[in-house]
A and B are shown apart, each in its own frame.
Chain A
Amino acid sequence: MSEFVFEMDNISKEFPGVKALDNVSFRVKKGEIHALVGENGAGKSTLMKVLSGVHPFGSYTGHIRVKGEEVQFRNIRDSEHHGIVVIYQELALVRLLNIMENLFLGNEVSKNGIIDWHEAFVRTQQYLKEVGLNVSPETRLINLGVGQQQLVEIAKALSKNAEILVLDEPTAALNEEDSKNLLKILRELKSKGVTCIYISHKLEEVLEIADSITVLRDGHSIHSQGVHDDGGMTEEKMINFMVGRKLTSRFPRKEHKAGEVVMEVKNWTVYHPELIEKKVIDNVSFQIRKGEILGIAGLMGAGRTELFLSLFGRSYGRDISGEIFIDGKKQTFHSPRDAIRSGFTYLSEDRKEKGLVLGMDILSNTTLSSLEKVSDHGVMETFDKQVVKAGVINYLKEVRITNHYVKQLQIKTPSIEQKVKNLSGGNQQKVVIGKWLMTEPKILVLDEPTRGIDVGAKFEIYNLMNELIDNGVAIVLISSELPEVLGMSDRVLVIHQGRITGDLPWQEATQEKCMYYATGGK
C-alpha cells in the first residue's frame, strides 16, 4: 500500500471553450491536512468535483487511485462510499430542519422506512461532541450561527464515515474566533486519522494549519511541498506560485489627509427585527471624514454589517433611532434610494444575493442605481412621480458610461452584454463597485469587498480605494480579515456587541489591540 491516501494523476477536464484542468496531479498522504491554493478559476473546485464524482468518470481524462486502488466514480454516492466527503462554500443544509434531521438527511437511521429518532438523537449527540458543538440535536439550523452550521456540516461528514474531508473555503464566512475553533477541530480530526483537503484564500490560515501545500494556477499543478520543506513555505512564496509574479506589498498603503467631516452619526440605536428586546446597535456615534479610509473591525455578530445596513435607508432592523448628518445637514433616509441620493452608498458583503442581478448583463447592473443619469426626461410627465424623474433610457449614453467603468475598473469581459453570472468573483465585485461609483457617492461603504476573490483582483481593489480617496470620496471598509483593515485604513473603529469600543489611528492599531477591544476589553 502506498503512502498516499489518494492520488490523482494527469487529470484533464475541458468545458466548452475552456480547459479547466490540464494534466493536473495531486497526491495526498494519509492523515495530513493538505492545502489546495490558487487564484479563482485556477481549477481547485473543478479538481474537487472530479474527486467527488460530481464530474463523473468519462467526463475527464486521467487516473484516480484511492488507497492504491483505481476508482471510477459515477456520482457523489460512489465517492462517499470510499470515504470522500466534500463540504462546499455554500452550506448544503436545510435551515428549517433541526440538526439531527440534517445530519441524516438522505441517510436516515431507519428500519423498514420508519425513522428511529431515538437512535438518531443519540448518534447526533455523539457526533456533535466530536466537533465540539454544545447544543441540542433538536436545534433548528436557523437558530445557529454560521460557524456552528459549519461544524454541523463536519458532523454530517463524520456521520458518513468520512476518511477524506474536503473543505472549500470553510472560514470565508467565519469570524476569527469561529475560524480558530474550526482549525482546532480539524487538528483533532487529523489526530484521529482523518485526511483533510483544505481550500482557502486565507494564506495565513493555510500556513497555520497545513502539513502540505499544492498550488494550482490556470488549470496546472504548479507546486507541491511540505510546509517545512525547502526552507519552509511563506505567504510571499505562495503568492508568487499562485500569480506567477511578485507582489511588492499586500496592501498598497498611501498617506491620506483627512478633510472635513462628511458624515456624522449620532446616538444610533437599532433593535433586532425579530427578537424584540434585543438591541443590535446600542447608542453609536461616530464621524467619517472626507478623504479617509475608516476601517471597521469586530467579530462576526458584533453588528458591523447591521450598523451600516440600518444607516443605509433602514435596510435592517426595527425601532431605529438616532440622527444622520451629511455635510452638516440632518438627513432622514426612509429607503436606500434616499441614502443614495444624499451620496451615501453601501456595497453588500453578499454580492450574489444583494449586489447583483445575476441574470442581467454588465451594462444593466452598472447603471441600475443611476438610470436617471442615462435617461431622457419628461417623456411621461403626467405619470407617477418616479417615472417622471427617469423616463426613457438613452442606450448610447448607457453604453458609453458602462464602457468607461469597465475600462477604469479593468473588468475582464468579452462584452458589456455578458451576463454577470458568467464572470469571475473579482470581476463581479468590480461590476458592483462600478454601479456604486456611477452614483457619484460621497461616502462609499465597502462591506467585505475582497471576500472570495483572488489575490490579483484584491490588489486592484485596494488600489482603487486609494484612487477614490484621492478623488475626495470617504470610504468605510468593513472586513473580517483584520490584516486587511489594519493594512488599508487610516482610522479603525472596533465594534463589540453593538457598541464602538475602540477608535484608533492606524499607527496605533495593532492586531492585539483590535482583538482586545473586539472582545470587549476596556
Chain B
Amino acid sequence: METRNKSMSQIIISGFKTNINQYAMFIALIVVWLIFQVLSGGEFITPRNLSNLLGQNVYIAILAVGMVLIMVAGHIDLSVGWLGGTSGAVAAMAWSGWHWNIWAAIALALSVGILTGLWQGFWVAYRGVPAFIVTLGSFLMFHGFILLAVHNGQTVPVQSGVIYQFGSGFLPQLFLKGTVGKDVPFHDLSLMLGVLAIVLYWVFEFRSRANRLKFGFDVLPWALQLGKIILVSILIAGIFAIQTFYVGISYAFLFLILLALLFVFITTKTVFGRHIYAIGGNKEAAKLSGINIRSRTMWVFIIMGTLASVAGLVFTGRMASASPAAGNLWELDTIAAVVVGGTSTLGGEGTIIGAIIGALFMGSLNNGMYLLNWDIQYQYIIKGVILTVAVWFDITSKKRR
C-alpha cells in the first residue's frame, strides 16, 4: 500500500536498486559492446562479428554450466581444459586415425569425461581430498595425455562428419533456398526459433508472475515488469537476429541453449539442484538434514567431466582439427566467466544464466580486443583487472542488499 504514495520514478529507482545484481551483468555487457563499437569504428556490432563471437565462446559457456554446479557445491575443477582438449583429441584420433564409427568415437570421448568425473568425484567425495588438489592432479595428467595423443605439435584433422557439423555447422533453411545476404534476406528457421524463444519467454514470465501473486509473494511493479520483459525480449531478439541475418543458428549454439534450459531446470526445480545449493551453503547443516553429500558431490563431478568432453568435441569441430594446444587455459576462462556471472567462490550461490552471460562478457572482451588488434600481453593484463573489479562489484552490491 505504501507504494501508492511514491512517484513512478521512485518505484523504478527502488526496484532497480533491489535487483541491481540481476541487471548489472546485462548493463556491463552492453557497455562493453558499446565501447568496442566506438573504438573499432563500427566493426564490433555487426551480424558477422557477433555471430563469430557467439560461436567462439560456446565451449566456454558449456564448461561454465558445469562449473556453476561445481562451485555452488563449494568445489573447483581445474582439469576441464586439458580434459576437454584430450577428449576432442581422442575422438579425432579414433575417427580419422583408427577409422572408428563416428558415434563410437564420440562415445569414447564422452566416456573419457565420465570416467574422469568418477575418478575425481571418488577422491573428493569419498576420500576427502580437496578438489583443488584432485583436479590439479588431473590437469597435469591430461596435459600429459593430450601430448601423448597428439604428437610433435601435429594436428589431427576433422573436416567432415558429425563432430565437424556439431562444432562448425549451421541449421538448414526450411523454405528459403540460397545464401543469406546474397540470395535471400534472412535465415527462416532461425527466425522461427527466435520468435518461439520470445513467446516462450513471455509465457514463462507471465506464468511465474501469476504464481507469485497467488502465493502472495512480492512482484515487480508493472512499470518495471514491462521494462524487464521488453529489455529481455530485445536481448533475445538481438541474439537471434544476429544469426538470422548472417548464416543462421549453429548447431553448437542451439545445443548450448537447450543445455542451459536443462540446467536452469535442474538447479531451480529439482531436489538434486536444491541439495547442491544446501551443501555449498552449509555442509554440516546439509549433512544433518539427511542429504547424502558424497553421492551428490560425485554426481556433480560426473556432470562436469561429461560437459568438459562435450566442450572438447564442440571445440574440435569448430577448429576442424584436434591440436595439442586445445584446452590451454580453458579452466581459467571458465572460472572467470562463472565468477563474473555472480557465482560465489565460497559456494552456495550462483546461477546458470549468470554464468552464460559471464561467458559472453569474457568472450566479448577477447573478441573486441582481438578486433582492435591489441597485443596479447595487454589483453591478459586488461582481462585480469576487469575480472578483479567485476568480482569486487558483485561482492559489494550483494552486501548492500
Query: Residues of A at under 8 Å CB distance from B?
Result: 312-313, 315, 335-337, 339-341, 346, 348, 353-360, 364, 368-369, 371-372, 375, 384, 386-387, 390-393, 395-396, 399, 415, 417, 435, 439
Instruction: Decide if A353 touches B271 in the complex (CB within 8 Å).
Output: no
B166 part of interface (Cβ distance < 8 Å): no
- 8 A Cβ contacts from B189-236 to A: 211, 215-218
Q: In the complex the two chains form, is B348's CB within 8 Å of A315's CB?
A: no
Question: Is B282's CB within 8 Å of the partner chain A?
Answer: yes
Other contacts beyond A384-B299, A387-B271: 5, CB < 8 A: A346-B288, A354-B285, A372-B271, A393-B271, A395-B211
Determine if A357 and B281 form an interchain contact, defined as CB atoms under 8 angstroms apart: yes
* B271 and A312 contacting across the interface, CB-CB below 8 Å: no
Check if B269 sits within 8 Å of A392, measured CB to CB: yes
The residues of B that contact A386 with a CB separation of less than 8 Å are: 292, 295
Q: Nearest A residue to B400 by beta-carbon distance?
A: A16
Instruction: Give residues of chain B (256-281) contacting chain A, Cβ–Cβ below 8 Å.
Output: 269-272, 274-275, 277-278, 281
Q: Please tell me if the beta carbons of A357 and B348 are within 8 angstroms of each other in the complex.
A: yes
Asked whether A415 lies within 8 Å of B285 as measured between CB atoms, the reply is no
Interface size on B, residues (CB 8 A): 28
CB pair B285 A356 closer than 8 Å: yes
Are A335 and B348 in contact (CB-based, < 8 A)?
Answer: no
Bound complex: CA of A246 vs CA of B287, how far in Å?
41
Provide 21 A-B residue pairs closer than 8 Å at the C-beta atoms, listed in order of the A residue.
A313-B290, A335-B290, A348-B285, A348-B288, A353-B282, A353-B284, A355-B288, A357-B281, A357-B285, A357-B286, A357-B348, A359-B281, A360-B277, A364-B277, A368-B289, A369-B290, A371-B274, A371-B275, A384-B295, A387-B271, A415-B216
A-B contact count (CB 8 A): 91
CA distance A360 to B291 in the complex (A): 16
CB distance from A284 to the nearest CB of B (A): 21
Q: How far is the CA of A364 from the CA of B285 in the complex (A)?
A: 13
With A and B bound together, what is the CA distance between A369 and B27 in angstroms? 39
**Residues of chain A contacted by B272 (CB below 8 angstroms):** 387
- Is there a chain A Cβ closer than 8 Å to B349's Cβ? yes
Most buried by A among B287, B290, B291: B290
A399 pairs with B274, CB closer than 8 A? no
Contact residues in B for A357 (Cβ distance below 8 Å): 277-278, 281-282, 285-286, 348
Task: Give the complex CA separation of A384 and B286 in angstroms.
Answer: 19
B275 partner residues in chain A, CB cutoff 8 A = 371
Residues of A within 8 A of B270 (CB): 387, 391-393
Tell me which residues across on chain B come within 8 A of A391, comparing CB atoms. 270-271
Which residues of chain B from 129 to 153 have a CB within 8 Å of any chain A CB?
none
- The closest CB in chain A to the CB of B294 belongs to A335
Given contacts A360-B281, A364-B278, A417-B217, contact A369 B289 (CB under 8 A): yes
Query: A335 near B285 (CB under 8 angstroms)?
Result: no
CA distance A28 to B35 in the complex (A): 61
With CB as the reference atom, state the residue of chain B lying closest to A355: B285
Name the contact of A393 in the complex, choosing from B217, B269, B299 (C-beta under 8 A). B269
Chain B residues contacting A313 (CB-CB under 8 Å) are: 290
